[in-house]
Amino acid sequence: MSVKDIEDSLSLQVCRKQTLVIDRGEGVHVWDVSGQAYLDFTAGWGVTCLGHSHPVIVNAIRDQSARIIQNPNSGFTYSPARAALLLELKKVLPPGLERMFFANSGAEANDAALKLARKITGRSKVISMTGAFHGRTLATLSVSGGSQNAERYLPRVPGQAFCQHNSIEGIDDVIDSTVAAVIIELVQGEGGVRPLDKAYVKHLRDLCDRHQCVLIIDEVQTGFCRTGRFFATNAYEVAPDIMTMGKGIAGGLPFAAMAMTARLADAVELGDHGGTYCGNPLSCAVAAQVIRYLNENRIEDKVEKLGIVAMQDLLRLRDRFPDTIKDVRVLGLMMAIELNHDHQVWPLTEFCQQRGMLVTPTKNAVVRLLPSLLLTQEEWREGVSRLESALSMLAVTRVAVVSPGGLR
């Protein structure tokens, strides 16, 4: 049996599959089992921030796994690897975030932040934004996008409300003294790389201060240099009470973190949270090395500069293919190509694959590009060339479908 046959017959199918069996990767390239190479502009949903098989990650896994992977009574006992990670994070976190907790995924970090905010404030109501995405647990789905995200799962978590993304109108009536927390992405990822306005975020901060609500900033997708800042928060000059992190934090290992102010941490009691793998030495050792590399090599500056080039190139493609591309949005190496129709997303994704390039299909007619943060200008130019070829294929296909006498 082939790999595809095994997965089709034994795996729980919860997503649309690409006909692609990936065997290995190095840098920004991956190879399938037949040896065909592809440019990976997905980074595994933005996770492999240093690219595939980077020596920093490979060496950290090798060295730490040879020592210990999981502590006895993990969490109850101290760990040099966890201590090293705490010190690396302290160097890069926004001011005021002094206490940290490690988790297995961004959704889990957000879930913990919501749970602890409710416990600390003694309130239950949580405010989120339309178009948001904070994870796939029951609690995080309930604050993602709108009620339709949770309608399939019963019972729904009560006490959620949504504000219109970037609209101050009416927000003062929604955020009041009954609210435990406001959770936001400064740049919506699944929502299509849509940033919040600085004035809007400042107003949210002021409302949270006025009503003593917890402001949670979800940096799961935007953190660790993805937007051209080490954290997107650094560009907003607004301090969160809790900040959640994930994806690029460990360069590919499942890992996440939550940081909070000392004031909130003082209200957390023994037994309020925990987890089997929270802060296991292997993931901590890798994350510490990834963060150190990003910080010492000023990767945020490199990403910011390449992001400017990327915006110019994608705007050129938008002007060349107006029947396909409605808009482009770029912050560092977090990029969205918004198409005119949602049904164009998968054909473009497949044409890119045929041209040896992997992209991330997203809802709301968006294709995202999330390459390694170590992407070179030469690799970017090659990616743009392949994307342009795929767009040309899509344009020709559209003409063939709609032209009289053409293929139907």
pLDDT digits (tens, 9 = 90+) for 144-189: 985 556 667 767 778 889 999 999 998 999 999 999 999 999 999 9
Side chain identity at 364, as an amino acid letter?
N
pTM of the model: 0.94
Within a domain: 353? no
User: Residues 94, 143: one domain?
Assistant: yes
Q: Are 31 and 76 within one domain?
A: no
pLDDT of residue 334: 98
Residues 126 and 274 in one domain: yes
Q: What is the pLDDT of residue 14?
A: 74
Q: Are residues 152 and 256 in the same domain?
A: yes
Q: What is the CATH number of the domain that holds 156?
A: 3.40.640.10
Range of the domain at 85: 55-296
* Count of domains observed in the chain: 3
Residue 7 is assigned to a structural domain of this protein: yes
Cis peptide before 155 (omega within 30 of 0): yes
SS3 (DSSP) at 4: helix
Any idea how long the chain is?
A: 408
Pair 109, 219 in one domain = yes
| Token reading at 167 | 């609209």
Residues 29 and 113 occupy one common structural domain: no
Query: What is the H or E stretch that residue 2 is in?
Result: none
Confidence of residue 4 (pLDDT cuts 50, 70, 90): confident
Which of 334, 352, 386 is a domain's end point?
334
Residues in Cβ contact with 281 at an 8 Å cutoff, skipping those fewer than 6 apart:
64, 67, 68, 69, 70, 71, 79, 80, 81, 82
Shared-domain flag, residues 192 and 63:
yes
Please check whether residues 189 and 119 belong to one and the same domain.
Answer: yes
Please provide the average confidence, as pLDDT, over all residues in the chain: 93
- The DSSP 8-state label assigned to residue 268 in this structure reads -
In a shared domain, residues 11 and 123: no
Q: Per residue in 303-345, pLDDT tens?
A: 999 999 999 999 999 999 999 999 999 999 999 999 999 999 9
Nearby residues of 306 by Cβ (< 8 Å), 6 or more positions away:
332, 333, 375, 377, 380
Q: Distance (Å, rounded) from C-alpha 138 to C-alpha 201?
A: 26
Q: Which of 259, 272, 303 is nearest to 43 (CA)?
A: 303
Q: Are residues 92 and 111 in the same domain?
A: yes
